[in-house]
A and B are shown apart, each in its own frame.
Chain A
Amino acid sequence: MPAGATGQGRRDAAPAVWLLSAAILAVLVVAPLAILLVTAVRVPEGHGFTFTNFVEAFGTAIYQGPVGNSLVYATAVGILSVILGAPMAWLVTRTDLPGKAVVRTLTIAAFVTPSFLGATAYVILAGPNAGLLNVLYRAVTGAEAPLFNIFSMTGLIYVTSLYTFPVVFILTGAALTATPADLEDAARIAGAGRLAVMRTITLPLALPAIVGGFILAFLEALVLFGAPAMLAIPARFHVMTTQIWAFFHYPPQVEVAAAYAMPLLLVAVGLLWAQRRLMGRRGYTTVGGRAAAAPPVRLGPWRWVACGGCGTVLLLAIGLPYFALLRGALAKAWGLGWSWQNVTLRNFRYVIFEFDPTRAAIVNTLELATVTATLAALLMGAIAYVAQRRLLAGARVLAFLAMAPLAIPGIVLSIGLFKAYSRPPLLLYGTIWIIFVAYLTKYLPIAYTACHAALQTVHVDLEDAARVLGANRLVAFKDVTVPLFGVGLVSAWLLVFLPSLRELSSSILLFTTRSRVVAVVIYTLYEEGLWEAVSALGILLLGLTLLLVAVAQRFLGRRFLQI
């Protein structure tokens, strides 16, 4: 039966679906961007256009520093993430490293840990005077100076890398897993040693994924707000994201902020374009399918060194920080030190039941994440379906629009959204809906990618087969496509729900009293110095996240966060 006929009846509904989806996407993606661009060239509080915003933004000495800082920060994070992530991926996928499952699990935990919680934990661990590690170091060595001052550019780079290396790990691991082993086998048969094989065969094959990972880690650091706000500001320097946030302080300079945000946008667009070229159309999801497994490289006595290395990284990323947060959450008072008397569940009680702001934030966050995830999954499910079945021309435009928000940093998107939706009749500012729009826009790409990947496993022939056997279109869709695609939808839902729980940079400019989310409250509590409450909320957030990941991996199997 000709392929076109399968879409026959649905063509009637398809144009409406296409138009509606396109309209929604246009509003979500194009509107804030367009308004942002206009704002950057508008005369503040006046009419007409001007370039003075750019002059103010980049010509003023104090605003130039953060540009350099952001570049240094992002580049270093990218490099450190590769140094940590790529070898670990190789070890886990290509060698006989002991404890692989533990490494994979803990790396996923690092992947879903928000870096601002890592930053909080490291203030407890590595504050120059009272940080637990520094106190220990001083006690052991008798030195005056601390081992490590977390309030520094180095500290910021270090902490951020601990939570961005998993991206490199996942990408490299996926590439290595998908690459057939015959080339390496051939090299080994021809007599090449382990190292030579790795250097001349494995590395070049994995290079696109590694560079792709570098780019993503770079981008993530470039657009991060929480960790820099917590570590850089006390160290007395700004990066571009915190500077944009500072532009919103009274009296607000929204136009200058918009101009200042332009390089972030351009760099993001450029890098993502480069990354797609490198990795082909697969973007940053896992490459499908598993090639024949290669016999693992035997590490011999190096096993334990490798194990120790991985263990150290994961101790630094998970073990120590989680412990520090737990200690903060269970402590009665910071100054009381270590003792069983200093343990209490009171802080959890405060944040869940007694403090108004935290209570409201918990409810807001759960509601927001649920609604965003549901809508994103459904909307992108529909768009992916329309795009992939090529039901209509112009489907590629839809796909492009769906992926475009990847290149728009959350804080930059917020500027556009603030300007777009803070005047009647479109007055969303002041309600939680503006934050919902920000989240939905930001997570369209991840939902689309997940749905797209899921749909690829549901070949149109399956539906055709059902129809040949007598099922009508709808039954074929219901009984064949939906069950297979359903898992993909759930995956997409989770992939949006999880990061929504901890999203900060998109909401930091847009929140008002009623629309605070947990990440924002953690940040405001941090500004106030309320350690115990910050730690308690942080532990709750982490607990929920990890629980969901565990449940998802159980039921969705290795398809979820596949490594």
Chain B
Amino acid sequence: MTHRRLWGLLTGLVVVLGLVANAVAADPAVMETAKKEGKVVWYSSLGLSLAQKVCDGFNKKALGITCELARDGSQRIFQKVMQEASAGLTLADVVHTSDISHYLDFQQKGMLMRYLPAGADKFTPDFRDRDGFYTILRGTPYVIGYNTQKVAAAEAPKRWRDLPDARWKGKLVHAHPGYSGVVMTGILGLLPVVGGWDYYAALAKNNPLVVQSAEDPPMKLAGGEAWVGVTGEYNLYREVKKGNPVAIVFPEEGLPFVTSANAILAKAPHPNAAKVFTDFLFDKDAQQILADDGLYVPNAAVAYPKDKRPLKELKLLRVEPEEMQKRDDEIKKKFRELFGV
């Protein structure tokens, strides 16, 4: 009798251990079911061409699972997921936005599945996960950019406080925190070092062109429609690499560090495909695609481009998720008040 119980216990233990081990590694059973599911729907706020590159990279692996990309701004994605959830729908499998407070909201509503991508234990400490509910996929500092043909390097703004200067009136471009998680994080990170909302009031008086996505200012700068702008570094880096007349400034007051998390929804329609896809996202190939385009990533095995400054050299301003969650609404309201839209 005792013998059998012991065996039962041991078997049970092995099974449990096996399950736990499999929760952090690509598992043949998961892969089988994933193949049957056939596709994974990724709501991603990563720039469209880059996101498409990642998706295509996954499809090239020919795992029998298709990546279906839906790209939109962080706040739009959040709105869609919530709007769909209010109708009892879950249309996305994996969600990726640049506003970290979204994941607190999701988690508090029980909308996330706990899953750690393979190799998570080896990720660099800047990219923490939150109990396995979400993992930071990429990070980029919030910086200033300018058009090198219109602005000489000597005259370019060196500090955040240079932007409200009347010299840039009508020549400034700014994206919208109601669309972009990058901008939302940037504003929250900047408020303590630039003296609060008065700074943004002064910025608004400079007649900035208000665009939506953080991807847009680099385009406007490259085309000469704006001379100076603020956005995520990786957005600018791509334009620089293309040979467009754009340069990046790392202001001395500090750089808000925008971290973009990735998570699987609890009611995902293709949960196993989602797990396989998430493993891919954090695996060397996908991470290298991101790093090549100027992002900082959790996987320590990637090789960064030669002209990228290492993270530890930068004066980063951290933004805590709880604070973002508390002040998201305030930022949107204040922006609307000051900028009119």
Question: Do A and B interact with each other, yes or no?
Answer: yes
> Residue A335 at the B interface, CB < 8 A?
yes
**Interface positions of A from 308 to 336, Cβ below 8 Å from B:** 333-336
Q: Are B179 and A335 in contact (CB under 8 A)?
A: no
Chain B positions 57 through 87: 1 when the CB is less than 8 Å from some CB of chain A, otherwise 0: 0000000000011111101101110111011
Q: Are B211 and A234 in contact (CB under 8 A)?
A: yes
CA distance A250 to B102 in the complex (A): 11
CA distance A415 to B323 in the complex (A): 33
Q: Which residues of A contact B158 (CB under 8 A)?
A: none
Q: Are B55 and A62 in contact (CB under 8 A)?
A: no
Q: Which residues of B contact A423 (CB under 8 A)?
A: 87-88
Known: A335-B245, A528-B216, A529-B215. A424 touches B225 (CB 8 A): no
Q: Are B70 and A513 in contact (CB under 8 A)?
A: yes
Chain B positions 158 through 186: 1 when the CB is less than 8 Å from some CB of chain A, otherwise 0: 00000000000011000000110000000
A-binding residues in B (CB < 8 A)? 41, 43, 47-48, 52, 55-56, 68-73, 75-76, 78-80, 82-84, 86-89, 91-92, 170-171, 178-179, 209-213, 215-220, 222-227, 239, 242-246, 329, 332, 336-337, 339-341
Q: How far is the CB of A525 from chain B (nearest CB, A)?
A: 8
Chain A positions 233 through 260: 1 when the CB is less than 8 Å from some CB of chain B, otherwise 0: 1101110000000101111100000000
Q: Are B87 and A427 in contact (CB under 8 A)?
A: yes
A sample of 7 inter-chain contacts (CB < 8 A) reads: A65-B340, A233-B341, A249-B75, A250-B78, A252-B79, A356-B55, A529-B213
Q: Which residues of A contact B71 (CB under 8 A)?
A: 357, 524, 528
CA distance A113 to B182 in the complex (A): 35
> Residue A396 at the B interface, CB < 8 A?
no
Q: Which residues of A contact B329 (CB under 8 A)?
A: 251
Q: Are B48 and A530 in contact (CB under 8 A)?
A: yes
CA distance A129 to B73 in the complex (A): 26
Q: Which single residue of chain B is at the shortest CB-CB distance from A424?
A: B88
**Interface positions of A from 518 to 541, Cβ below 8 Å from B:** 524-525, 527-531, 533
Q: Which residues of B contact A249 (CB under 8 A)?
A: 75, 79, 178, 332
CA distance A246 to B332 in the complex (A): 11
CA distance A554 to B24 in the complex (A): 65
Q: Which residues of B contact A514 (CB under 8 A)?
A: 91
Q: Are B210 and A236 in contact (CB under 8 A)?
A: yes
Q: Are B222 and A335 in contact (CB under 8 A)?
A: yes
> Residue A493 at the B interface, CB < 8 A?
no
Chain A positions 105 through 144: 1 when the CB is less than 8 Å from some CB of chain B, otherwise 0: 0000000000000000000000111110000000000000
Q: Which residues of A contact B55 (CB under 8 A)?
A: 356
Pick from A236, A334, A527: contact of B341, CB below 8 A.
Answer: A236
Q: Are A529 and B216 in contact (CB under 8 A)?
A: yes
CA distance A298 to B89 in the complex (A): 66
Q: Which single residue of chain B is at the shortest CB-CB distance from A135?
A: B224
The total of Cβ contacts below 8 Å across the A-B interface reads 139
CA distance A355 to B70 in the complex (A): 10
Q: How far is the CB of B340 from chain A (nearest CB, A)?
A: 4
Q: Which residues of A contact B69 (CB under 8 A)?
A: 356-357
Pick from B52, B82, B171, B219: contact of A356, CB below 8 A.
Answer: B52
Pick from B52, B92, B244: contact of A335, CB below 8 A.
Answer: B244
Pick from A236, A356, A430: contact of B340, CB below 8 A.
Answer: A236
CA distance A255 to B69 in the complex (A): 32
Q: How far is the CB of B337 from chain A (nearest CB, A)?
A: 7
Closest A-B pairs by Cβ, 4 of them: A529-B216, A236-B340, A335-B222, A527-B212
Known: A430-B89, A513-B91. A252 touches B52 (CB 8 A): no
Q: Are B79 and A129 in contact (CB under 8 A)?
A: no
Known: A250-B75, A430-B89. 15 other contacts (CB 8 A): A234-B210, A237-B341, A238-B341, A250-B79, A250-B82, A252-B79, A333-B243, A335-B222, A335-B242, A336-B243, A527-B73, A528-B213, A528-B215, A529-B215, A531-B223
CA distance A357 to B222 in the complex (A): 25
B-binding residues in A (CB < 8 A)? 62, 65, 127-131, 151, 232-234, 236-238, 246, 248-252, 333-336, 354-357, 422-424, 427, 429-430, 512-514, 524-525, 527-531, 533
Q: Are A129 and B52 in contact (CB under 8 A)?
A: no
Q: Are B210 and A530 in contact (CB under 8 A)?
A: no
Q: Which residues of B contact A250 (CB under 8 A)?
A: 75, 78-79, 82
Q: Are B80 and A427 in contact (CB under 8 A)?
A: no
Q: How far is the CB of A86 from chain B (nearest CB, A)?
A: 35
Q: Which residues of B contact A533 (CB under 8 A)?
A: 48
CA distance A429 to B90 in the complex (A): 12
Pick from A430, A527, A529: contact of B220, CB below 8 A.
Answer: A529
Q: How far is the CB of A231 from chain B (nearest CB, A)?
A: 11
Q: Which residues of A contact B52 (CB under 8 A)?
A: 354-356
Q: Are A528 and B212 in contact (CB under 8 A)?
A: yes
Q: How far is the CB of A438 from chain B (nearest CB, A)?
A: 16
CA distance A418 to B338 in the complex (A): 31
Known: A233-B210, A355-B48. A531 touches B340 (CB 8 A): no
Q: Which residues of B contact A529 (CB under 8 A)?
A: 211-213, 215-220
Q: How far is the CB of A460 from chain B (nearest CB, A)?
A: 48
CA distance A234 to B88 in the complex (A): 35
Pick from B43, B48, B86: contact of A528, CB below 8 A.
Answer: B48
CA distance A404 to B222 in the complex (A): 48
Q: Are B222 and A333 in contact (CB under 8 A)?
A: yes
Q: Which single residue of chain B is at the shortest CB-CB distance from A332?
A: B242
Pick from B80, B212, B223: contact of A512, CB below 8 A.
Answer: B80
Q: Which residues of A contact B86 (CB under 8 A)?
A: 422
Q: How far is the CB of B93 from chain A (nearest CB, A)?
A: 11
Q: Which residues of B contact A427 (CB under 8 A)?
A: 87-89
Q: How far is the CB of B270 from chain A (nearest CB, A)?
A: 13
Q: Are A129 and B210 in contact (CB under 8 A)?
A: no
CA distance A151 to B336 in the complex (A): 18
Q: Are B170 and A128 in contact (CB under 8 A)?
A: yes
Q: Which residues of A contact B82 (CB under 8 A)?
A: 250, 252
Q: Are B215 and A151 in contact (CB under 8 A)?
A: no
Q: Which single residue of chain B is at the shortest CB-CB distance from A527?
A: B212
Q: Which residues of B contact A531 (CB under 8 A)?
A: 219, 223
Q: Which single residue of chain A is at the shortest CB-CB distance from B87?
A: A422
Q: Which residues of A contact B224 (CB under 8 A)?
A: 129-130, 335
Q: Are B43 and A513 in contact (CB under 8 A)?
A: yes
Q: Are B242 and A130 in contact (CB under 8 A)?
A: no
Q: Which single residue of chain B is at the shortest CB-CB distance from A354?
A: B52
Q: Are A334 and B222 in contact (CB under 8 A)?
A: yes
Q: How far is the CB of A162 from chain B (nearest CB, A)?
A: 21
Q: Are A129 and B227 in contact (CB under 8 A)?
A: yes
Q: Which residues of A contact B226 (CB under 8 A)?
A: 129
Q: Which single residue of chain A is at the shortest CB-CB distance from B246?
A: A335
Q: Which residues of B contact A237 (CB under 8 A)?
A: 340-341
CA distance A239 to B56 in the complex (A): 39
Q: Which residues of B contact A336 (CB under 8 A)?
A: 243-244
Q: How far is the CB of A535 from chain B (nearest CB, A)?
A: 13
Q: Are B84 and A130 in contact (CB under 8 A)?
A: no
Q: Are B339 and A429 in contact (CB under 8 A)?
A: no
Q: Which single residue of chain A is at the shortest CB-CB distance from B88?
A: A424
CA distance A513 to B77 in the complex (A): 10
CA distance A355 to B213 in the complex (A): 18
Q: Which residues of A contact B210 (CB under 8 A)?
A: 233-234, 236
Q: Which residues of A contact B218 (CB under 8 A)?
A: 529
CA distance A30 to B83 in the complex (A): 24
Q: Are A62 and B337 in contact (CB under 8 A)?
A: yes
